[in-house]
């Protein structure tokens, strides 16, 4: 049984590659490098099948187990860039659903992405940007805790949930292009351009450098993969560390969820849908790993 730990996790990288290639096959606006994407997806699928089926002799040192558990997570971090190639396959590059979502947000929530950060002090901007940045630590912290404790099957369940969350979010992006409030609120003349970038200190500068570079996908805001991963993190903090973990993880995670809207990275609806995907991913991963 120990020899099989992580094998299913490796194989679960393949469906995203299949979906990615399928979106390119049926695209209304085909990407000029689509054949390269098919080839890369095929090579990666072959690699993960080989890794999943590798014998136990190599794994006696723990190297095989380590790769099976950690590489699928790295794959989905990398797949964020791959998902960006699908953003404009079905809609024109200038199209987004932002106007409709802004109208819905105004009706249901009063457009919190518009007013939450307006007129706030620099220290609060800094705190919110630090909270948003903390997302990058969630999976590594939980993963290291489980791996160091030798809880490899639980690690697989956690990593499976993270992978499922990413796969679902990335696969939805091309069908529901959403630029996000930091761009759309200005284009809809709801936010002055001078308020588009928040002022703060170190972490605000770091996040501004990231978010206003070519790294984030303009069109991949719905659903919020940050929120899906955050919910998975909060649940696993509770599972690993009990009540104390639930309190600390819940506080850290709640701050991150609020900061996504405060910093105008996502609408509240993106956060709600992403959080629901995170919950479903944990449920699905538990079923798959237990099975």
pLDDT in tens, 27-37: 999 999 999 99
Per residue in 254-289, pLDDT (tens digit) is 999 999 999 999 999 999 999 999 999 999 999 998
| Residues in contact with 48: Cβ distance below 8 Å, sequence separation at least 6, in sequence order | 10, 11, 13, 14, 71, 72, 75
Two tokens, residue 74: 């790295």
Q: CA-CA distance, 236 to 157, in Å (whole number)?
A: 10
Give the residue with greater pLDDT, 245 vs 54.
245
Q: How far apart are CA 289 and CA 291, in angstroms?
A: 5
Which tokens belong to 54? 């590798």
**Mean residue pLDDT across the chain:** 92
DSSP letter for 60, please: T
Mean pLDDT of all residues in 26-51: 94
* Cβ within 8 Å of residue 66, ≥6 positions away: 147
Residue range 201-230, pLDDT digits in tens: 998 998 888 888 777 788 888 999 999 999
Closest CA to 220 of 22, 77, 78, 88: 88
* 51, 35 Cβ separation under 8 angstroms: no
**Does the structure show a pLDDT above 60 at 87?**
yes
Exposed/middle/buried for 160, CB within 10 Å: 0-12, 13-18, 19+?
buried
Q: Has residue 53 got a pLDDT over 60?
A: yes
Q: Which pLDDT belongs to residue 209? A: 87
Q: Six-digit token pair at 45?
A: 């699928």
Identify the residue whose tokens are 């919020």: 224
Its domain, for residue 106, covers 2-290
Residue 192 pLDDT greater than 80, yes or no? yes
- What is the number of domains present in the chain? 1
Alpha carbons within 13 angstroms on the beta-carbon side of residue 95 total 12
CA 230 to chain centre: 9
pLDDT category at 1 given cuts 50, 70, 90 is very low
Judge residue 36's burial from the number of C-beta atoms within 10 Å of its C-beta, 0-12 exposed, 13-18 middle, 19 or more buried. exposed
Closest residue by Cα to residue 190 from 95, 113, 267: 113
Would you say residue 150 has pLDDT above 80?
yes
Inform me whether the pLDDT recorded for 58 exceeds 80: no
| Cα separation, 252 vs 244, whole angstroms | 12
């Amino acid at each position: 049984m120990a020899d099989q730990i992580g094998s299913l996790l490796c194989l679960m990288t393949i469906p995203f590659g299949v979906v990615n290639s399928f979106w390119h096959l049926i695209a209304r606006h085909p990407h000029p490098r689509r054949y390269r994407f098919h080839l890369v997806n095929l090579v990666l699928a072959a690699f993960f099948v080989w890794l999943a089926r590798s014998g136990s002799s190599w794994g006696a040192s723990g190297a095989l187990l380590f790769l099976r558990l950690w590489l699928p997570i790295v794959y989905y971090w990398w797949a964020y860039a791959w998902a960006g190639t699908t953003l404009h396959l079905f809609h024109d590059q200038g199209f987004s659903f932002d106007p409709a979502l802004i109208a819905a947000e105004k009706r249901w929530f009063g457009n919190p992405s518009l007013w939450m950060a307006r007129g706030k002090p620099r220290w609060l901007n800094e705190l919110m940007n630090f909270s948003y940045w903390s997302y990058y630590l969630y999976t590594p912290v939980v993963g290291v805790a489980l791996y160091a404790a030798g809880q490899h099957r639980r690690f697989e369940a956690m990593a499976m949930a993270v992978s499922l969350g990413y796969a679902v979010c990335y696969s939805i992006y091309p069908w529901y292009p959403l630029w996000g409030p930091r761009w759309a609120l200005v284009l809809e003349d709801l936010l002055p351009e001078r308020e588009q970038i928040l002022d703060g200190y170190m972490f605000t500068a770091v996040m501004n450098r990231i978010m206003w570079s070519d790294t984030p996908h303009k069109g991949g805001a719905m659903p919020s993969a940050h929120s899906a991963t955050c919910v998975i993190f909060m649940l696993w903090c509770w599972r690993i560390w009990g009540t104390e973990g639930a309190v600390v993880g819940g506080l850290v995670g709640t701050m991150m969820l609020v900061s996504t809207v405060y910093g105008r990275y996502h609408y509240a609806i993106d956060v709600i849908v992403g959080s629901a995907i995170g919950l479903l991913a944990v449920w699905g991963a538990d079923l798959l790993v237990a099975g």
